[in-house]
Structure 1
């Protein structure tokens, strides 16, 4: 007869211990050890067993493997298709995380209705709402299709049977923290349950060729709840970001086996659901105040799309011994580096100044091409001299104060010209080899000091 054994598992990293501990030795988190019952002597479900050798996979030479581009199903949301790498791949497992109330269920319900219009069956499984609640939300979003099936269940075995019965091409699980496997003794949402349920869903997706979307809750730090292994198991990890009190949402890929992780999709939440924002540059610049110091515009690349973003800086004398350096949407270390370059190479006395920087609109910028715009914003606020509202800055700044070449300069300049910018400051090494749009003055500079002389 199997014996029951008690063990303690960390809910953050999955570390197992025979006794309870206040702090997890694996990840260092406090009060994350939860008691779970382990049945000793029970045959594990995923144990390897010797089967017929004719059905076992064999090693194959890489030169003899035939490959072709994976087929994709495109939705009506171009922003979602871009983030996924061109569309939904059959047999893929996609994890979507985000804060409560941000719109994850709304996004997936709209996508389910769009996929159902392609005459393919979609199974929407809700573990948090009844089928009536889901129907009411679908009515608000004007979602209706005979190929869209709603199922309220949290038992994974029942979900598996329903998938076998309906044979859908797409499945949505909302959410993975509510689903439980009856053979796992721990509570739903625990490390063991999330790991086992995700592993079973991955097996279903790969063996049946079904594209499965699963919703994951996030912790207060913003990471997806459950073990870190969850993000390693799935094919794609998407984060749905935004402020609950604002209408704009950003869909960002942090892992994608079928596309780039640099793509970003922008949506607007309305009463009728989520709508796409086709030109995000206008959104990021629509509330820009003219004539204010410390404000510049940079053309940043988000994957394959150029996006114009306003960078704001506020430099003020410090009242403490150590000046403060705060940044939102920009790397804190990059700000400190650029302020040191301005102080050493340009002669701005910034060691006794507090610095606060922000990328307006909630977007996060991490490419080197924003360096010149950040440096000019800092200098503009320090000197209290505003830049022209029709100026745009592009360039990477080195430690010696030089402005270095950036990639895809033609796309960045064309995006700035389309939005009415008349003068664009770029690295001198980027001049030549491409066509400058009419009505735009492009100025090449070698150093940060030269750029400041041209602007002020």
Structure 2
């Protein structure tokens, strides 16, 4: 019986028996691509037998974690890599996907595991050149395979009995069963991902599988959303061109939190884990300077001390500039409006520039108290003493408000040896080992206290 061609939307996964210029589900134009043949129109569906078990009687699969000793990666993964998990890593070109996974491969080898790194984009000699640059001592059990055939990769992985498989990238591989569909087509990419999941979930010999996923123009994982639903963990590497800071975050994690963020520093010798971010995002100075203040943000379960710097000068244009790289521009404008209204500062004719040391971006409102103090310090041309940390949000009425994870943030500032921590007025009992706690009802009190 004749079969119909099947088309699938690359954005939402909608399926159609014929081509449509516009997807009826998500409204995208030109997003439907041919993925193969649908079932015969009049073919009856078959019923598959499934085993029903009581949940309490199902045996747990051995999903203990492997520690790679790349601390920031282990943190984002939830405390290590689950042995039978599939993780996809995506980022813009040049962000460091392949570099990080090559370093991970060797780190696992150093821990006694056998790893196969399969690349459909680079030759063995190209991978070797990168390895000589980013790996100090290449391990004995790190195997490289340059091919576009996933059938060959799976066969070799089983033959070598590896513990971990890296597939770079999933969009460059094909399975012979689904030819002539080209590499990168939704059909091939999805079926290749299914094959990798099948390999990883083998109950007799589970494997850690990492897939590199290419990114499209919209800065999203290329291909069908089904791939993201299929894998256990989705990791994104973010970083601006020319900026060495890289952040690693999980947008999906079946074995841990999606709120954790890992920090890396990209240099010639690869991606270096920033194990103590609080020290990285501060400037070590002998003397206090104007426009600088310290706050604490919470990223995942971890508190990080963050230094913000501001600069003000007179504008010679009708509209002053408002520039920020650490918070939303609207948030900066709100802080300026609060200072104008509550402190009567004349900022209507001032250019204002705000940035975070290290290029860190945050959406934690608990940094607003530090931002207000930084702006006030720049305006009054007076420095704030350098061993003070400000923790708190600021309301439109100028009140300093409690922030999420206050005690955790205080603990981090106290651990780093700051002598004074400024917080909102609170009835809660605050514990510190060494630091002095100073409480404020509003920004007027704080600015008078530190800048008068």
TM-score normalized with structure 2 length? 0.83
Which residue number corresponds to residue 98 of structure 2?
A: 105
Aligned pair count reads: 444
User: Whole-Å Cα distance in 1 between the matches of residues 34 and 113 of structure 2?
Assistant: 41
User: Whole-Å Cα distance in 2 between the matches of residues 360 and 24 of structure 1?
Assistant: 45
User: Whole-Å Cα distance in 1 between the matches of residues 183 and 427 of structure 2?
Assistant: 56
Which residue number corresponds to residue 135 of structure 1?
A: 128
Give secondary structure in 2 for the equivalent of 1:376: helix
5 Å-filtered alignment, 1:285-434, equals 285-286=282-283, 293-314=290-311, 326-348=323-345, 355-419=352-416, 421-429=418-426, 432-434=429-431
Which residue number corresponds to residue 174 of structure 1?
A: 168
Is residue 245–residue 359 contact of structure 2 (8 Å, CA) maintained in 1? no
Q: Shift of residue 382 of structure 1?
A: 4.4
Is residue 250–residue 260 contact of structure 2 (8 Å, CA) maintained in 1? yes
Q: Shift of residue 24 of structure 1?
A: 5.8
Give secondary structure in 1 for the equivalent of 2:431: coil
**Residue 215 (structure 2) pairs with residue 218 (structure 1):** yes
Give secondary structure in 1 for the equivalent of 2:202: helix
Give secondary structure in 1 for the equivalent of 2:201: helix
User: Whole-Å Cα distance in 2 between the matches of residues 248 and 289 of structure 1?
Assistant: 25
User: Whole-Å Cα distance in 2 between the matches of residues 59 and 343 of structure 1?
Assistant: 66
User: Whole-Å Cα distance in 2 between the matches of residues 19 and 374 of structure 1?
Assistant: 53
User: Whole-Å Cα distance in 1 between the matches of residues 411 and 228 of structure 2?
Assistant: 37
User: Whole-Å Cα distance in 2 between the matches of residues 41 and 369 of structure 1?
Assistant: 56
Give secondary structure in 2 for the equivalent of 1:207: coil
Is residue 120–residue 146 contact of structure 2 (8 Å, CA) maintained in 1? yes
User: Whole-Å Cα distance in 2 between the matches of residues 212 and 270 of structure 1?
Assistant: 26
Q: Shift of residue 391 of structure 1?
A: 2.5
5 Å-filtered alignment, 1:177-326, equals 177-182=171-176, 183=178, 185-208=180-203, 209-286=206-283, 293-314=290-311, 326=323
Which residue number corresponds to residue 86 of structure 1?
A: 79
Which residue number corresponds to residue 447 of structure 1?
A: 442
User: Whole-Å Cα distance in 1 between the matches of residues 309 and 108 of structure 2?
Assistant: 41
Given candidates 120, 141, 145, the residue that maps to 2:139 is 145
Gaps in structure 1 of 5+ consecutive residues: none
Is residue 300–residue 308 contact of structure 1 (8 Å, CA) maintained in 2? yes
Is residue 4–residue 37 contact of structure 1 (8 Å, CA) maintained in 2? no
With over 3 angstroms needed to count, the CA separation of the structure-2 counterparts of 1:393 and 1:153, relative to structure 1, is same
User: Whole-Å Cα distance in 2 between the matches of residues 288 and 14 of structure 1?
Assistant: 54
Given candidates 11, 34, 37, the residue that maps to 1:39 is 37
Is residue 68–residue 111 contact of structure 2 (8 Å, CA) maintained in 1? no
With over 3 angstroms needed to count, the CA separation of the structure-2 counterparts of 1:347 and 1:164, relative to structure 1, is same
With over 3 angstroms needed to count, the CA separation of the structure-2 counterparts of 1:441 and 1:162, relative to structure 1, is same
With over 3 angstroms needed to count, the CA separation of the structure-2 counterparts of 1:113 and 1:12, relative to structure 1, is same
Q: Shift of residue 88 of structure 1?
A: 0.6
Q: Shift of residue 226 of structure 1?
A: 2.4
Q: Shift of residue 435 of structure 1?
A: 2.6
TM-score normalized with structure 1 length? 0.83
Q: Shift of residue 212 of structure 1?
A: 0.6
With over 3 angstroms needed to count, the CA separation of the structure-2 counterparts of 1:160 and 1:216, relative to structure 1, is same
With over 3 angstroms needed to count, the CA separation of the structure-2 counterparts of 1:37 and 1:213, relative to structure 1, is closer
Gaps in structure 2 of 5+ consecutive residues: none
Structure 1 range deviating more: 83-92 or 300-309: 300-309
Give secondary structure in 2 for the equivalent of 1:238: strand
Deviations 1:348-386 (A, max 9, x none): 455676654333322221223212112223333444444
Is residue 175–residue 192 contact of structure 2 (8 Å, CA) maintained in 1? yes
User: Whole-Å Cα distance in 1 between the matches of residues 61 and 149 of structure 2?
Assistant: 37
Q: Shift of residue 178 of structure 1?
A: 0.8
User: Whole-Å Cα distance in 2 between the matches of residues 196 and 326 of structure 1?
Assistant: 46
